[in-house]
Amino acid sequence: MQRFKPAKNRGNRMAVSLQDLGQRLSFLLVAAAAVVLFLAGKAESEKMEDFRALVTDWTAPVLDVASRPVQMLRESFSQLDVYLSTTEENRLLREKVERLQSWQALALKLQQENREFRSLLNMHDVPPMPYLSARVIGDMGSPFVHTVLINAGKKHGVQKDMPVTGAEGLIGRIVSTGKQVSRVLLLSDLNSRVPVRLEANGYQSVLAGDNKRQPLLVYLPDRAQIKVGDRVVTSGHGGVFPPGIPVGVVSAVKHGQANVEVRVQTFVDEQRLSFVQILQFSDPEYPPGTVGEKKAGLNSRSEKDITPIAAESAGRAQLSFQ
């Protein structure tokens, strides 16, 4: 038995050497093939292009089959992600629906109470107000004048002093009309004066423009409690603007030594006006002898005769009467 062991060891060593030789030859053959393909590719011959196309045709089905499991795995992870996100979104939507249902129940209850109170007080409902839609066709804005032009005029029934609103709230009023074009005075203009009311506490005031993006609240009571975020709506005093039109919210309250400066952020962005609504609101008819009755002499005055100081004085007199 011992005489055959050297022969077995020699066979093992030969097999190992042949395996090493095969690996070296394989590496050399692969390297040589790579060099040949590289040189052939640099040559850019038609035969090489045909060979590339042939190799592509052979390998494309194999690559397609090999990539399908990877694609299926990616789609599975994507669907799982969508399912998880949909579950979370569904949960949030259910919570939102529950909150909205509670608010709806409260709104229906308040609506019914409001209907009963109005019936007890014998209050008449305000009829819907007709309006006319128009497009902003020009911006006449400047450092001293804040107005826009709209493509509606006397031909369409537009008259001077008609209120102009947007989707969010009040924009201004008509100050001059042509046959097919009208000019709108914006709330930020220096000559703009709008009687308003604070919804939270009912304080009456006047929204006065000063050529800044956020107009001022003037003629407020000395001890008025005003907070940032209070809503401001039209009061309807003066007969130009109907009551209840949203104007904006209080954005800043600065207490000075002599007075309080209150700024209002309007709901409508004057820099992004495209379409407007002209409310066909008519002045109420006052009984003879009342303060609100229009005087012929005042109506005959032109717009140029009414200066900002005169308008401000008129607004002060009106508030003092109230």
Statement: the pTM of the whole predicted model exceeds 0.85: no
Cα(142)–Cα(254) distance, integer angstroms: 27
pLDDT value at residue 234: 95
Tokens of 295: 């005087």
134-161 residue pLDDT tens: 999 987 667 788 999 999 999 999 999 9
pLDDT at 61 over 70: yes
The CATH code for residues 131-283+316-321 is: 2.40.10.340
Q: Where are the beta strands (DSSP E) in the chain?
A: 131-139, 147-150, 163-165, 170-177, 182-186, 193-198, 204-208, 216-218, 231-234, 246-255, 260-266, 275-279
d(CA 184, CA 112): 39
pLDDT bin (cut points 50, 70, 90) of residue 310 is very low
Q: What is the pLDDT of residues 159-203, one digit of tens each?
A: 999 999 998 999 999 999 999 999 999 999 999 999 999 998 889
